[in-house]
Amino acid sequence: MFFDFQLPPLMKVKAVTVSAAFFLSGSSLLAVDFKKDVLPIFESSCAKCHMGGNAKGGLALDADKIMEAIGEAGSIVPAKAESSDLIRRITMKDGGEDVMPPKSKGLGNSDVRAIKEWIDAGAPLEGEGMVAGKAPAPKAPQPLRGDWTNVQGKTITATLLRVEGDKALLQMPNGATYPYPIGQLSAESQAKVKAFAESAAP
């Protein structure tokens, strides 16, 4: 990864904070996919001035240029939506003079939320993406619900659906599943995964 992951300071829901830290410290899996969830918003609301050769204020939001705006001094500060100028501008209330798009009330709530989540996830441009709600049907053995700790000492409660190569397929309480690198788990959690995998062997 090209950035130092840090927890956003203002995350309100503790459970979300914990699982974000858990997953992001060990893998590049994301809750929001840039190309699927964020780029279309920029395309519909910002393209006229910030894409396809337009870079008002020096800002280009095209998929192949946006990385120049991502960084501690950029409009997009990875993992810190609340300190990102881009978020400040799209959430301005009553037509402040910096508001984006100009002379608007800023973006709609769901668009803002998607962009914030993406930034808080570190503003990654590539990733396998999350497969929310599309957990493959688990095969035997029975899914194992429990606490999982990673090498950084973060613990989450999730259901181990199955083992795929060197990944443990974990399902979060919200239904999202993540292939988590087993090597990133604590020794104790690795042992649990191993026992689970062995019980699955014919």
Binding site for ligand HEC (CB under 6 A): 45-46, 48-50, 56-59, 75, 85-86, 89-90, 98, 100-102, 107
Which tokens in the block code for residue 16? 């979300």
State in angstroms the smallest separation of the CB of 124 from ligand HEC: 18
Do the Cβ atoms of 153 and 162 come closer than 8 Å? no
Parallel, antiparallel, or unpaired for β 167-171 and 155-164? antiparallel
Residue among 50 and 154 whose Cβ is closer to ligand HEC: 50
Distance between CA atoms of residues 163 and 148, nearest Å: 14
State in angstroms the smallest separation of the CB of 36 from ligand HEC: 17
β-bridge mates for residue 76, sequence order: 70
Residue among 107 and 144 whose Cβ is closer to ligand HEC: 107
Residue among 85 and 155 whose Cβ is closer to ligand HEC: 85
Distance between CA atoms of residues 159 and 46, nearest Å: 40
Residue among 24 and 100 whose Cβ is closer to ligand HEC: 100
Residue among 71 and 181 whose Cβ is closer to ligand HEC: 71
> Residue 91: phi, psi to the nearest 5?
-110, 5
State in angstroms the smallest separation of the CB of 125 from ligand HEC: 16
State in angstroms the smallest separation of the CB of 137 from ligand HEC: 40
Distance between CA atoms of residues 25 and 48, nearest Å: 36
State in angstroms the smallest separation of the CB of 167 from ligand HEC: 35
Distance between CA atoms of residues 28 and 23, nearest Å: 8
